[in-house]
Chain A
Amino acid sequence: MRGGRESGKPADDQWSSRLALTVNGVGHDLTLDNRTTLLDALRERLGLTGSKKGCDHGQCGSCTVLLDGRRVKSCLVLAVTLDGREVITVEGLAGRRLYPLQAAFVAHDAFQCGYCTPGQICSARGMLDEVSRDWPSAVTADLTAPVELTDAEVRERMSGNLCRCAAYPNIVTAIRAAASSR
């Protein structure tokens, strides 16, 4: 057992836990204060500062990462809950070339200051996987039909990612371009 129940641990260590976390394919063995969010673990312990802290309350989406393949807001995930899990951040998307969504954001000028961009790209990656599984959204007219990725669908599905520069029109264009080349 972990946490306060781990045998041989001093009593004052009940507030922290050990966990094994795989990030972008690399395994890490971490001991963290139980209060540490996934976002803070990524940025402050692993030096992966691509994921951004915007609101730190699950509202802006700039901290979005993929957890076991699904998009989540890393500021509201406690790292202690992730023993044995796999995380992909924006740093883990590109190979020798830019990931197609990254290239599309560049090609379509889908950002200004760039602060929200890593979260936008991770969110879009998770979102396109959801579309490929035909998950409906709030603007899907027929809940049981295959999903057609219209502008309205992209806007609704990306509503968990704010862009204070309001690059939204080009973000929609970039995501649709990347989706059509998938």
Chain B
Amino acid sequence: MRAFRYHRPADVAEAVALLDADPEAAYLGGGTNLVDLMKLGVQRPGLLVDVTGLPLDTVEPGPDGGLRIGATVRNSDLAAHPLVRRDYPVLARALLDAASGQLRNMATTAGNLLQRTRCAYFQDTAKACNKREPGTGCAALHGQNRELAILGWSERCVATHPSDLAVALVALDAVVEVREPGGPRDVPLAELHRTPGDHPERETTLPRGALITAVRVPPLPFARRSTYLKVRDRAAFAFAVGSVAAALDLDGDVVRDVRLAYGAVAHQPWRAYRAEELLRGRPFTAELAAQAADAELAAARPLRHNGFKVPLIRNITVRALTGLAGSVRP
């Protein structure tokens, strides 16, 4: 591991100034991903700015419902929060389906959103990777790509975003509060992560030095009927092969509103707007749910080893929505 300097900033402004001034500086949150990548030589920061001591560790109910989640709230504390468990089961489920008890005690909310892909080629410094070293190529495109993207990828990068939390949050229309060198800004979570395009090394739309300070989840009463379904290669402590976050609001049999997002299919958490549009205003059936998923997945371009993800995502969409419909009906 490369030697690095370490600093605990007194406040958010100092943290942002330090990152802005030093191109080799990185923020340190829970460290569950960054410290691992430093051991692997994938990330080589010269200065760690530890933000875990900043006063960003509370979950506050919003004035009109909703939640404001501090950036350094640990995943385990967020999953255990009474309001999250009661009002946003999709959020609690996504958190509890991720990592292990020890890692959830360490990992932070913002760190989870900014974690790096688990693409094996990205994590292996002996392999070509445009995300790790721009211009070197993508060994995954024609390599072992079973776990990788089916939507929105480019010839330069087929990596997936590994977060479960981000999938639930994008379904809930969450907004990220960011402090940039120029001042504070709100960024809808749906606009935080980029498609890889020609620059897979740029993973977010945030400028250098930007620090996420909180995540706001707007009020959404029907999210009390929401869930997260995650498919993985073993029953616990594994990244998703495919996942769906879903919330359903029925008026009798008719879909009044719906939220759908997919995980482990793209470079970003994938909000399924087309599927939602097809579902709204129609009588809910399992067939309609399958049609909606098919409409979303029409744009899918599976790689050599991950064609199975298309029916997998369709099937878990149907399972999640029919489960919610069953629980909504009187």
Per-residue interface assignment for chain A, residues 81 to 94, with 1 indicating a CB less than 8 Å from any chain B CB and 0 otherwise: 10000000000000
> B237 contacts the other chain (Cβ, under 8 Å)?
yes
Q: Quick one: which of B154-189 are within 8 Å of A by CB?
A: none
Given A144-B86, A155-B236; A123-B102 close (CB under 8 Å)? yes
- Closest chain B residue, CB of each to CB of A138: B96
B50 adjacent to A81 (CB under 8 Å): yes
Chain B's interface size range is: 35 or more
B39 adjacent to A56 (CB under 8 Å): yes
How far does the alpha carbon of A3 sit from the alpha carbon of B99 in the complex, in Å? Answer: 32
Per-residue interface assignment for chain B, residues 1 to 39, with 1 indicating a CB less than 8 Å from any chain A CB and 0 otherwise: 101111110000000000000000000100110011001
Q: Quick one: which of A72-116 are within 8 Å of B by CB?
A: 72-73, 76-78, 80-81
Query: Looking at the complex, which of A21-29, A42-50, A57-65, A169-177 is the stretch in contact with chain B?
Result: A57-65
Given A78-B35, A155-B236; A72-B106 close (CB under 8 Å)? yes
> B205 contacts the other chain (Cβ, under 8 Å)?
no
B36 adjacent to A57 (CB under 8 Å): yes
Q: Which residues of A contact B79 (CB under 8 A)?
A: 135-136
A123 adjacent to B101 (CB under 8 Å): yes
Q: Which of A135, A137, A140 neighbours the largest number of chain B CB atoms within 10 Å of its CB?
A: A135
Q: Which residues of B contact A140 (CB under 8 A)?
A: 96
> B52 contacts the other chain (Cβ, under 8 Å)?
yes
Given A34-B4, A123-B101; A136-B39 close (CB under 8 Å)? no
Q: Which residues of B contact A155 (CB under 8 A)?
A: 236
Q: Which residues of B contact A135 (CB under 8 A)?
A: 76, 79-80
> A126 contacts the other chain (Cβ, under 8 Å)?
yes
B contact set with A: CB distance below 8 Å: 1, 3-8, 28, 31-32, 35-36, 39, 48, 50, 52, 76, 79-80, 82, 85-86, 89, 92-93, 96-97, 99-103, 105-106, 236-237
